[in-house]
Structure 1
Amino acid sequence: MDCMVNKVATIIQARMGSSRLPGKIMKRIGKKELLWYSANRASKAKLVNDTIIATTVDSRDNTVFDWCKTNGFPVFRGSEKDVLDRYYNCAKEFGANIIVRLTSDNPFCDPEIVDQLVLELKKSKSDYVSNRVTKRTWPYGLDAEVFTFKALKHAWEQANKEHQREHVTPYILEHSEYFRLLEVPLDENLSNFRLSIDYPEDFEMCKVLIEGYNAHEMNWREIIDLLKKHPELVEINASRIDSKL
């Protein structure tokens, strides 16, 4: 284990077994797979030392493992259902003191947001920082969580409910008596924009944005400005905005 002081690792959870869009992370948009867009954008964060793909030991995810090796991304394999355990052991193996949690179905995740949250964690000396606030203001698909390894270890040791193991951070959020939590909302409510990929309509919108507008080369503000100028793009997946995903 690398024991670099304040080593920051972005861990992107990725698996082939999506119930709504099976194998979505390996679906191609343009010349690249969906996973590439998520991992490539995340890797541009200036305050992050490693960007790691955390997949599962399920044989279906051999594809993810092989893809990571081919594309030069560090990869870790762990439990499929106990994602908290997967994150803990991944962070431990890579010697991370601070962990950024992202998901592989957010191809427009923004390195600027990641750096902002990492900086907030360090400045505030919090245990957990996120833009996934109680009342959503950020667009769907730009969510990020940053937390200390100490907090992750505490959760890993104490979490004993299924949802706490499956979703990584619920134990931390449900036990604020043990952790210093910080939320980072936007001044403007942009929750009517959806950039995550959970449904066919989401994938279609992503495809149009990348292939038609090179949105993968834009920062998140530029993407939102584009959507404001082209409301017909927002309509592609507008029916999914109220989803709690």
Structure 2
Amino acid sequence: MIGVVLQARLDSSRLPAKALLDLQGKTVVQHAMAALRRVSAAERFILATDPGSAEFFRQKAEAEGFELFIGPKEDVLRRYADAARHYGLELVIRATGDNPLVSWEIAEETLSLQRAGGADYAVCTESPLGTGVEVIAVPALLTADTYAEDPYEREHVCPFLYRRPGEFTISTAPVRESRRCPTERVTLDTLDDYRYIAGLFRELYGGTPVGIDRLIAYFNERSSSDTGNGAKNT
């Protein structure tokens, strides 16, 4: 069984409660959930949070067709492992609630990459930061949970795996060429990020999730416009 597991929290030190900020009438985390609901291969959709944040997310998760799972606050690796055990998952699509432009198309591309090599860990690279996901085979996830001791590896879930390419099968590849735009950043960490992403949503959001191809086209159009304006001013 394939499950989307989206982690979310409230206590970001740089931008508290960022997952609940508004973007065109929906919160950041709701936009992420709405996009990930489009992953056609997924059978379970789970919002994994901590006890102190759960009640802030419960209704929003239910509204977007996600089940709420509550796990440890700091040990996010354990939270993922517990969720995988609880729901009987075989593959986990990992995403984070501060990426409102996460791409279901790239999630499906990453699933294909994982399946092609039977990887323990798979990720597609070179898309705008904040649009991608990680795909993890649950046996590898449970091994990480058993043996990881480094606090960084427990907080960030996947480093235990990709730091050990001799022990796990790691698959990485660029996204398809038309989706490559590694210089762009659409993840939410700071107030400036929020202002920038809010502007993107004003331009692009029409009531349904913004697809990666539309996002890349927008970046390309903007780049062409900027280049043209620059040429006129020289």
TM-score normalised over the length of structure 1: 0.85
Q: Is the 8 A contact 2:32 2:100 kept in 1?
A: yes
TM-aligned CA distance change 1:38 to 1:54, over 3 Å? same
SS at match of 2:6: strand
1:121-200 correspondence runs (5 A): 121-132=114-125, 137-186=126-175, 187=177, 190-200=181-191
Report the AA paired with residue 159 of structure 2.
Answer: P
How many Å separate the matches in 1 of 2:12 and 2:224?
28
Counterpart residue number, 1:212: 203
Deviation at 1:232, TM superposition (A): 11
Q: Is the 8 A contact 1:25 1:33 kept in 2?
A: yes
Counterpart residue number, 2:232: none
Deviation at 1:219, TM superposition (A): 1.6
Report the AA paired with residue 96 of structure 1.
Answer: L
Deviation at 1:177, TM superposition (A): 1.8
Counterpart residue number, 1:50: 44
Q: What fraction of aligned residue pairs are identical, expressed as a percent?
A: 24
Report the AA paired with residue 169 of structure 1.
Answer: C
How many Å separate the matches in 2 of 1:118 and 1:213?
26
Task: After superposing the two structures, state which structure 1 stretch, 94-103 or 114-123, moved more.
Answer: 114-123
Counterpart residue number, 1:3: none
How many Å separate the matches in 2 of 1:30 and 1:218?
12
How many Å separate the matches in 2 of 1:107 and 1:233?
25
How many Å separate the matches in 2 of 1:232 and 1:77?
46
Deviation at 1:208, TM superposition (A): 1.5
Deviation at 1:226, TM superposition (A): 0.6
Counterpart residue number, 1:84: 77
Counterpart residue number, 1:109: 102
Q: How many residues align?
A: 223
Q: Is the 8 A contact 1:55 1:65 kept in 2?
A: no
Q: What is the CA deviation profile of residues 185-219 of structure 1, one whole-angstrom value per residue up to 9, with x for unaligned ones?
A: 14575221111111112211221121232276432
Residue of 30, 38, 41 corresponding to 2:35? 41
- Give me the CA root mean square deviation: 2.0
Q: Is the 8 A contact 1:128 1:145 kept in 2?
A: yes
Task: After superposing the two structures, state which structure 1 stretch, 63-72 or 157-166, moved more.
Answer: 63-72
TM-aligned CA distance change 1:232 to 1:104, over 3 Å? farther
Are 1:228 and 2:217 an aligned pair? no
How many Å separate the matches in 2 of 1:124 and 1:212?
39
SS at match of 1:101: strand
Structure 2 stretches lacking a partner, 5+ long = 227-234
Structure 1 stretches lacking a partner, 5+ long = 1-6, 235-245
Deviation at 1:123, TM superposition (A): 2.1
Q: Is the 8 A contact 1:43 1:50 kept in 2?
A: no
Residue of 21, 25, 28 corresponding to 2:22? 28
